Structure 1
């Protein structure tokens, strides 16, 4: 699977919810999906390269596909109606959109810039194309999974 397929599926779910997304929001939602999937399944969600850019993790192929929209919303009329590419992933993507889709692109970028994040571990000012290793991404999101599992659920 490619990051573009994941992005298309996330856009379909966001469209159903009436939530238009900017390219930056979409980029971060695809990255966050990748991180949670990697931690949960110890497997890649897609094979595209993830790099540390100024505004956080970027999937260059997805950036190229969405940059024409600039800072504006991706027009929902360009998003196909119908089922997502892999129906077994719908609940997973829906959870990502539910939990993170309400945040602006800048807020999501700030989330990926926190101390100890995979981006923060490899980013260097004025250095482009530094790949973020999967082990950093997996470890970061695994910590999140472990923290959620350790938190008791209310009765």
Structure 2
């Protein structure tokens, strides 16, 4: 690994010197098409000349490969490895399941760049267990029974994610991308606030799934099933490549709202937000007459959610980070410092 400020020999200074790393813009022609790359270069701290470091050419080759694939929407080696783990298939079985030659995936892992057609097929399998299921059925005779069963079992395990609507999957992906570490409890509360604020500010939901008034606050049952294995731990799993690869159905307005929620509510723990939702009318109304420790599948009314956030909007600026922070702080203060 290249380390800035280490010492290497400079051919201009003729002695070992310290250096720093920076990015340079390089334009190269690949297959008759010009591409611009941001590549790492090492610069001598004494004379300012570019230095040739051990391993730098390998770093540049990797940067060029990744940026070229990204520009051309070609699957990366990392994504192909994720596809293998996702469906629990080795190189040869995955090649055959995809309808490729038996050694195709092995060649891709060694650095050969897939054709656009083959890349698109693998990307679709990353995003859609149903598509992968159809490929496994189509190519069943080419696979050993054990490999086929492993692939189909993986498809079955992924069906819960695929059953979520595309805008809900995309919303979850945005949250994970924005925050990194998110527990299932926090995810549920963020989805609730995304939906509620959208109903009030945009007069429409972001996703169609209903929200239920569970003991621990508003919950989207399908999302609970997908993430239940993580319990109180941060969500992290190769299966969620499906979320990232979901075709984007969100508007820029909806993405901006999701970012607003993650930048405010996302800074608080799931238990804090659970307590806040327990003080809000939509959850209280849906739980009316239900003992505190009794499970319930009663749905929160979207009209109640809209009305609640519209009322909040008369006291707080719900379109601003400052306004939402103020609401959360006020709500949390009242919960933990009740008037005697």
> Is TM (by shorter chain) over 0.5?
yes
Q: What TM-score do the two structures reach when normalised by structure 1?
A: 0.82
2: CA distance, partners of 1:60 / 1:130? 11
Aligned CA distance change for structure 1 residues 103 and 52 (closer, same or farther; 3 Å): same
2: CA distance, partners of 1:129 / 1:90? 29
1:137 aligns with 305
Match of 1:41 among 185, 194, 202: 202
Which protein is richer in strand relative to its size? 2
Q: Does the CA-based 8 Å contact 2:169-2:246 persist in structure 1? A: no
Q: What TM-score do the two structures reach when normalised by structure 2?
A: 0.39
Task: Give the number of the structure with larger relative contact order, counting CA–CA contacts within 8 Å between residues 6 or more apart.
Answer: 1
1:29 aligns with 190
Residue 3, structure 1, aligned to residue 163, structure 2: no
Deviation string 1:5-55 (CA, Å, 9 cap, x unpaired) is: 31122111113xxxx110000110011000000101111111101100000
Q: Does the CA-based 8 Å contact 2:190-2:265 persist in structure 1? A: yes
1:95 aligns with 260
Give 1:76 shift: 7.4
2: CA distance, partners of 1:127 / 1:54? 6
Give 1:2 shift: 4.1
Match of 1:120 among 284, 307, 315: 284
Q: Does the CA-based 8 Å contact 2:281-2:308 persist in structure 1? A: yes
Give 1:3 shift: 2.6
Give 1:77 shift: 6.8
2:219 aligns with 58
What is the aligned-residue RMSD (CA, Å)?
2.4
Q: Secondary structure at the match of 2:213?
A: strand
Q: Secondary structure at the match of 1:52?
A: strand
In the TM superposition, structure 1's runs of 4+ consecutive aligned residues that sit over 6 Å from their partners are 81-84
Unaligned runs of 5+ in 2: 1-165, 323-340
2: CA distance, partners of 1:13 / 1:87? 17
